[in-house]
Copies of this chain bind each other. A is one copy, B any other.
Amino acid sequence: MTDISKEELDGIYAFAVNLGKEAGKMLLEAAKLRMGDERVSEERKEHVQKENAVDLVTETDEDVEAFIKGKIVEKYPSHKFVGEESYSKGSSRDYLIDDSPTWCVDPLDGTVNYIHLFPMFCVSIAFIHKSKPLIGVIYAPFLNQFFSSCVGRGAWLNETQRLPLIRNPVPPMPEKAPSGCIFSCEWGKDRKDHPDGNMHRKIESFMNMAAEIGGRQGRGGMVHGVRSLGSATLDLAYIAMGAFDIWWEGGCWEWDVAAGVAIVQEAGGLVTTANPPEDHLTAAIEEVRLGSRLYLAIRPAGASQTETGRQTQERTVREVWARVRNLDYSRPGA
């Protein structure tokens, strides 16, 4: 596998940015069809009533992925393509990302939001080489928020505001983190009411993070706020922005997070595993494995008077690990 030159990477980045913009526009146009647009034909109107929303959204999802894939195959026929929709149709959930130049795409993240027309939905496009996400593009067209990054070229909001937003200087993680932090987490789809199931493990962990200091048998983290948006991709985008301090989640797939991880890392954030290792106080804090389905992200952080930015992040990771339970999301076949 040869390296990719700076010029090649610039070209791929420019291509990915345009592709993200076009795909986001497609999402918004399909959403508008479902709004009360008087110019939509009567026939179309019947088709777009809410009861059909799920089918329509699946259709949009597939159309947008086909569009993205078509453009990539045309421009970079030698690159691999891993897309959410292509997976869904197959039976395998094998991890397909290797050292080849690979595109990892979620045409529509935040599907439930999209069905309900809650603005937190987006397209997510990552370019990965040698197993590292080098380029990330996330576009939430209903919010007019476009996030992008390329390794070595910074992470950006709307191509003009460098991320994180607060950067003169970038503040360290709070001294008493998770206290003072915005904690982002998702309820997810696994709602089995099993006392040791993922839902209960998650909610117990959320409550530990939220409860007053001293509460929950000493686990109370008294975070500043708990947020759930229903989009893993946008959770990561807001981590890169510095708006969310901590994101903890299990169950996502690589296409949900690849672009977000690229943007978070380029902005200076840290992404590691959600599940606390046994020696969570001393274990080395390893970079996330994209296909692991278990993610803990910490926002970009600068130095304090006594710690480097990375030290404030790692301290926060250990404080989160001390408060959360292991989640059980294995990879089918893995």
Contacts and interface: CB of A to CB of B under 8 A. Distances in A.
Contacts of A118: 182, 227, 238, 241, 243-244
A224 B116 contact: yes
B225 A112 contact: yes
Contacts of A214: 193
Interface in A102-135: 112-113, 115-119
Counted per complex, copies of this chain come to: 2
A211 B191 contact: yes
A19 interface: no
A78 interface: no
A50 interface: yes
A171 B34 contact: no
A222 interface: yes
Nearest to A42: B168
A228 B117 CA distance: 16
A51 B166 CA distance: 12
A21 interface: no
A169 interface: yes
Interface in A22-55: 34-36, 40, 45, 49-51
12 contacts: A40-B168, A49-B169, A50-B171, A116-B242, A117-B241, A117-B242, A118-B227, A118-B243, A191-B220, A192-B212, A193-B220, A203-B206
Contacts of A35: 161, 165-167
B207 A243 contact: no
Nearest to A172: B50
Contacts of A171: 49-51
Contact of A215 (B50, B192, B224): B192
A215 B203 CA distance: 15
A49 B167 CA distance: 9
Given A119-B145, A187-B210, 9 more contacts: A49-B171, A112-B225, A116-B225, A144-B144, A191-B215, A192-B211, A199-B207, A203-B206, A227-B230
B193 A199 contact: no
A245 B36 CA distance: 18
Given A35-B165, A227-B230, A228-B228, A119 B243 contact: yes
Interface string A222-236: 101111111000000
Given A171-B51, A192-B212, A193-B215, A182 B112 contact: yes
A214 B165 CA distance: 45
Contacts of A245: 116
A159 B331 CA distance: 47
Contacts of A162: 36
